[in-house]
Every structure is written in structure tokens, then in C-alpha cells.
Structure 1
Amino acid sequence: MKGFKLSLAWQILIALILGVVVGTVLHNQPDDREWLITNILSPAGDIFIHLIKMIVVPIVVSSLIVGIAGVGDAKKLGRIGVKTIVYFEVITTIAIVVGITLANVFQPGSGIDMSTLATVDISKYEATTQAVQGAPHSLVTTILSLIPQNIFASLVKGDMLPIIFFSVLFGLGLSSLPAEHRDPLVGLFRSVSETMFKVTHMIMRYAPVGVFALIAVTIANFGFASLWPLAKLVLLVYVAILFFAFVVLGAVARFCKLRITTLMRILKDELILAYSTSSSETVLPRIMQKMEAYGAPKAITSFVVPTGYSFNLDGSTLYQSIAAIFIAQLYGIDLSLTDEIILVLTLMVTSKGIAGVPGVSFVVLLATLGSVGIPLEGLAFIAGVDRIMDMARTALNVIGNALAVLVIARWEDQFDTEQAAAYERQLRMQNAA
């Protein structure tokens, strides 16, 4: 056993199982639960999330500037941007349609006695929704929200879209400078990018502790008893996510001469981490690093991945459409075809317009349900199991964004197939060892 070392994926998986066990024990010990959650478990989980948030902005800014400065062509970058947005819109629309179709076919909300369902306070989401709904979702408003009035304020708040917009412009400006002025600054940002990836590896050593704490808190608060009345909904969400990952994204990958299963093997550590923390941000730096190593150009990787975190949340939109129909069925509301078309169109807008808002899936649903007359109070019934479903939809978001990088690289004819083949061989050798 000399030299034996568990991989990060195994460490996180063991932490996940231990977290479930500890959370279950704590759920049955209400006297000790509050103190342990408040003073030990919650802070331990929050430390990990804070560490990840700390590195996301520096990585996105430095990687984008280096990537765009390397392209040095505004017309080429504009073409990449248009293709990216078109691809995102098509895939997320398919996700919404698949979710609504499956919910109509399997009827997860039919026949449930609402008196058996536990309710959770959703006032914090309602307050956020009112603030969001105060601003109209017009095209002009969306465009204005991309342009930062103060880049430093956007950096402080972590508003990803304005940060991306500024970084792209800065990279283009930098690329137009003479070499003697451009190269030192490009070198500086490249050093920052590489340094932040090293910092990411340091932070990942803490990941199993963070995962253990986050899962233990969730299970301790809600237990498994709250799952049973809503088991049909949870099961349908998981089936829908697996269907979308293997069938829809699998078909897209096959069309681009890629394999979705290969992509999942490459990202196995990141998928387990994203699943157990319910946070896509925890794996953003590693996705960028791995997709670049797999053969996608830095310019495409550094642009598509951060943008996808706002515009390409396949798992979230799939879940939102299922949850909306579920709540309508719960209240016995029969939505017409027109209502469902309105629901699709509304979800297409609201899911893009409030990217980066905490509890985004719940906020999107609150901003959407009223458009077709579904009672907002219905969300209180599913809030208790939302974390269980959030884990799966976050993992699908990760797969969708990683695949998007490869699709755009293929579309631009910039995917390095030889580098990808070498990476796959290296992966097989590591697995064999």
C-alpha cells in the first residue's frame, strides 16, 4: 500500500457519503443539531464556497484578456460570440421543451395530497424577485446590463457579464498595440492566469471538507422524510437530466465527432464536485483548464465557459420547466397549449435576464409562474427538496458548458484533434494505473 493515494474524485465521493450519514444522524438529534450546524458545519461549507468565489473573477479576467489578445481580430471574435449565443439559445430552448414534454407525459404533480407536503419559507426569494421584476426584460435593458458603468463595482459584485464585456474590449485594445507595449502586459496577465490555476489546485485540497459540510447541513435540516411525498418529482428531474445529457447532448457531441461519455470521463472529478456542492462556480477554473488541454483554443475556452454560466444553464432551465408544470398539476390547473408556449417564451427571457442572482432557479420560477396563472405559493412545497434536484441540474450545467466549448471550437475549425487524442490516451493510462 506504499504510495497509495486517493484521487480527488474518490475523496469527494467518500466525503459525500459521510456527509449524508452525519446529516441523517443529526436530523434525528434536534437538540445538538442547531449548535453543530451554526458553529461547525455551515462555516466549514461556506469557507469552501468563499474560496471558490475568491478566484473566479481573477481567472476569468486574466484568461479572457490573454485569449482575446491572442486572437487579435474583432471580426473573428464577433463571429465566435454570435455562434456561441445562437448555440446557447437553441440548446436551452430544447431543454425547456423537453422538460415541459416530460412533465406533461409523466404528470408528477397529479394525485398528490398537498396536506402531506412540508412547506418552506420562500420570502427571501420573493424579495429578490420583486427587485428583478422591477426592471423590464427588454432587449435594450439586457444590452445596457452588459456594459459596466464602473468596472471596479462590477468586479466587487462579481457581475460576470459586464466583467466579460470589459475583458473582451480590453483584450482587443491590447492586441492592437505595438509588440513592445503589448507583450509585457500579455505576459503579466498570462502569469496571473497560470498563478490562479495553481491557487485553484491548492483550494481543491479543501474540497472534500467543504462537500462533507454542505451535504451534512442539507440532510440535517430536511432529512429523507421530506423526499417521499415528492419522490416522483425528484425522480422525473433526475431521469430528464440523464436523458438530456446522454440523448440530446450526446447527439450534439456525435454530430461534432465527439463522445459525451469521453467528456464525462475527463470531467469526472468536476462533475462529482459540482454535484455535491450544487455550485457550478466550484469547477469553472478546472473546466477552462481541461477543455484547453483537450484541444480547444484559449480564446474560445476563456470566452465560452464564463458566458455559458449566464446563458447556457441546461440543467436549470430543464428543471424550471418541469417544476412549473408540476406546481400547475399540484393545484389542478390545466394549462392550454397557448399557456405552455407563453411559459416557454417567458422562461427563455427570465432565465437569461437574471443570471448571477442567488437562488437563481427559484427566482426564475417566481418571475415566471404568474405569467400563466400558476400560484407562486406552490414553490414553498418543493423548496425542501430543491437542493437534492439542484445537485443534478448543476452537474448537467457543467457538462453543457464544457461541450459548448468543444462545439464552438469545432464550428470554428480550431479544435486540435491530435491534442485531444493524446489527452485521451493519457487519461486511459491514468485510469489503468
Structure 2
Amino acid sequence: MSQPTRILLSLVAGLLLGLASAGAAWAEGVISIAEPIGGLWLNGLQMTIVPLVVSLLINGIAATAEAARASRIAARAMILFVILLWISSAIAAALMPIFLGMWQLPAESAEALRSALSASPAVGTVPGIGEFIRSIVPTNPVSAAATDNFLPLILFTAVFGFALTRLPQEPREFLTRFFRAVSDVMLVMIGWMLWLGPIGVFALAYVVGARAGAAAFGALLHYVVIVSAVGIVIWLLAYPVALIGARVGIARFARAVAPSQAVAISTQSSLASLPAMLRGAEALGVPVVTSGIVLPLAVAVFRVTGPAMNLAVALYVANWFGVELGPTQIAAGIAAAAITTMGAVSLPGQISFIASIAPICLAIGAPIAPLGVLIAVETIPDIFRTLGNVTMNVAATATVSHRSGIEPGEGQTEEDRLLEAGQ
């Protein structure tokens, strides 16, 4: 049985058992045991967030800069990727208030869930624009990390990563190897915590079921639909990107990308979809010299649904817990979502869920306790994450090819031509 399935079944079992025991005399005694168990598991995940995000972001920037230096095509692709990531993040900030306004989580359900998780975010006064701008440059990055002040920490890490790329080769490679080792250690630790995930999720789900009752099931369904809807919008955005950026008709693009979408839905893996994406790019007339560079690069460092869906989760949690967000908090969330996505590359879905969304929650002042429950239902939104990523990868590749003015066959060796012809 796969790890996501084990965690999902633990969620369902915990909710059902909690619902069945609601109101029983002994329920509070069980809650007093389950609540600290779930809290310990959440703390175990949280303790890895700062070193994991910092190391992954530095490695992501270093890998991006190295790829951009490799060729003109890669540099253009990276510029397009960054633009699309920021657009993705901004779209979520615009869409979430609309979606939550169209279908609101019932007030009684939200209140029951807040009481069940007993997590109240510390929300202070909303800073003015001047104070906000000054606050994003940390005077002490260590202090920012210690206080979970993530936006200044992310900015410092990004500047550090770009500065690292200016070093001579030997110290640059030494530092990238060091931070790669740090991230590998953190991933091992998170793997251990996720192995214990069914216990932690079961404990949290029991508390939620016992205190919130049937409202918990409706709230989780509401969450899945809202967050998935944001992913669907980003997926559909790939079609106008192909139309405008690559001058490819929507019907033609849809036919070319359909096989890779089928693989994405069945595997939930962009890497597994790469061969089908290469064939789809070929059907659009993208030469191998372009698709052979851009598509593997996209699979490695480009997750267009990441900023939108990660920010959507954080904004959902903020709405769930009644956190009032002003323009400065929204701006912080947009920036955190767009930047941290570059560091969440090639991670399993459950690991990237915590590593990518917790910093955004902390940046906007939302609690991270609900993530321990929401991670269990990530399987369904993850389908739309992969579907959107794969579709946009092909659209971005076609756009880079068209804008670079590379004609089919240009820059290919005789071996490339034979492979393209299937000979």
C-alpha cells in the first residue's frame, strides 16, 4: 500500500472513529492523548522546514543559473518560467476570494474545525506599506529563521543563492554540495516523519471528528474542490499561452498534449510524462534541439501550478481560521509562493506540500496545524497539479521555440534527424 493511501485511510478512520465517539464520556480522555500525539508529529515536520527551504532554494537558484548559462534557449526558458510562476501566484490571490465568496464554508463548520484543531494564529496589527517594505530585508537572517519570519528569510536566501553563482567554480561547487547534503538530510528526516504520518494524521483526525463531527467531512470536500478549481484554471491557462506565445491553435495543441495528460493523470508524475511530452512537442513542430533542452529543464525546475495551488491552500487556511489579510499579507504570500516553488523541485508530493505551503502560511500569519490534516487529501488536488504542470511544460516549450525563431531541423545532427524520423 502506498504512503499516500495509508495516510488517507488513517484520516478516514480517525474521522469516523472520532465521529462515532462524539459525546461519549470517555471521548475527552482519548482526545487528551491524541491531541499531543498529533502535535508532536506536526512539530517534527515543522522542525525541518527552515533548513529544508533554505537549502532547496539555494540549490534551485544554483541549478537555474547553471542551466541558463548553458545555452541561449535555456536562458529564455528560465525567464519564461519565472514570469509564469509569478503570474500563477497572482492568479491564486485574485481567484481565491472569488471562489470562497461563491461557495463559502459554512460558518458553523469553520468554527467547529477551529475548535477541533485548537490552533489560533497570532495575528498582530497589519503593517503599513512602508513598514512592510522595510521588514522584507532582514537585519538578522538567523533571527528571521528563529521567529519563522519567512519572507525576509526567503529574500536573504535568494540573494545568497544568486551571490553564490558569482563565485569561482571550486567554492561554488563546494557550497552547492554542502546545501545539497543539508537538503538530503532533511528529506531523510521528513521521510521518517511521513512514515509515522498515519499515526499523526489518525490522531489529528480523531480530534477533529470528535469535536467537529460530520462538519469535518464537508469541510474537507469543500477544500478539495476550491483548491482543485485553482489548479484547473492554471491548467486551462496553458492553452492561451500556446495560442499567443507559440501561435498554435487550441485544437491542435489539445490533440498534441492529450497523450502526456493521460500519463500525468495516471501517474501523477511529470517525469513519467516526459517521453509523451517530447512526442507532443514534436507534433507541434518543435525541433528536438529545443524540446530536448526545455522539457527536461521544465521537469526539473518548473512547477507552474505550485505557486497558485500552494497559495490557495494558505489562503484557504487563513479564511478557515478567520485571519484578516490586508494587501501587505497578500503581497507577502504571492512573493513567498512564487519564490519557494523554485526550491520545491522534484520532491514527492507530500514532502513538497509541507515544504512549500508552511512558509507561505507563516508569511501571511496563518496557522500550519491544519496542514497535518490537509496533507491526507492532497491526492486529488495533486492530479490537477501534475495535469497543469505537464500541459504548461509543452506550451512553454512551444513558446520558447517559436520566439527563438528556431525552425524544425535547425541545429540537429544527423543522428537527431534519424531519431526524429523514427529510423
> Which TM-score bucket, shorter chain as reference?
0.5 to 0.7
How far apart, in 1, do the equivalents of 2:251 and 2:373 lie? 35
Change beyond 3 A, Cα 1:136–1:310: farther
How far apart, in 2, do the equivalents of 1:274 and 1:110 lie? 34
Deviation at 1:409, TM superposition (A): 0.4
1:362 aligns with 2:354: yes
TM-score, reference length from structure 2: 0.56
Change beyond 3 A, Cα 1:289–1:227: farther
Deviation at 1:273, TM superposition (A): 2.3
Cα offsets for 1:36-69 (capped at 9, x unmatched): xxxxxxxxxxxxxxxxxxxxxxxxxxxxxxxx9x
2:80 to 87, 109, 114: 87
**Which residue is 1:251 aligned to?**
240
Aligned positions, number = 291
1:103 aligns with 2:96: yes
**Identity over the aligned pairs, expressed in percent?**
18
Deviation at 1:412, TM superposition (A): 0.8
Long gaps (5+) in structure 1: 1-19, 31-67, 69-73, 120-128, 160-216, 418-433
**Which residue is 1:266 aligned to?**
256
Matches within 5 A, 1:254-333: 254-255=243-244, 256-333=246-323
**Which residue is 1:398 aligned to?**
390
Could you say what secondary structure the match of 2:324 adopts? coil
**Are the aligned partners of 1:110 and 1:330 in contact in 2 as well (CA < 8 Å)?**
no
Deviation at 1:144, TM superposition (A): 4.2
TM-score, reference length from structure 1: 0.55
Change beyond 3 A, Cα 1:295–1:136: same
Matches within 5 A, 1:9-408: 78-107=71-100, 111=107, 112-113=109-110, 115=112, 137-142=157-162, 144=164, 149=173, 228-246=218-236, 248-255=237-244, 256-358=246-348, 359-408=351-400
Could you say what secondary structure the match of 2:272 adopts? helix
Deviation at 1:310, TM superposition (A): 4.1
Change beyond 3 A, Cα 1:405–1:415: farther
**Are the aligned partners of 1:316 and 1:394 in contact in 2 as well (CA < 8 Å)?**
no
1:230 maps to a residue whose letter is L
Change beyond 3 A, Cα 1:251–1:335: same
1:113 maps to a residue whose letter is A
Could you say what secondary structure the match of 2:241 adopts? helix
Change beyond 3 A, Cα 1:274–1:328: same
How far apart, in 1, do the equivalents of 2:110 and 2:160 lie? 44
Change beyond 3 A, Cα 1:305–1:243: same
How far apart, in 2, do the equivalents of 1:260 and 1:99 lie? 24
Q: Post-superposition, which runs of at least 4 consecutive aligned residues in structure 1 deviate over 4 A?
A: 116-119, 133-136, 142-148
Change beyond 3 A, Cα 1:110–1:103: farther
**Are the aligned partners of 2:231 and 2:381 in contact in 1 as well (CA < 8 Å)?**
no
Long gaps (5+) in structure 2: 17-66, 118-147, 184-197, 206-213, 410-423
1:228 maps to a residue whose letter is G
Deviation at 1:109, TM superposition (A): 5.3
**Are the aligned partners of 1:137 and 1:350 in contact in 2 as well (CA < 8 Å)?**
no
Deviation at 1:283, TM superposition (A): 0.9
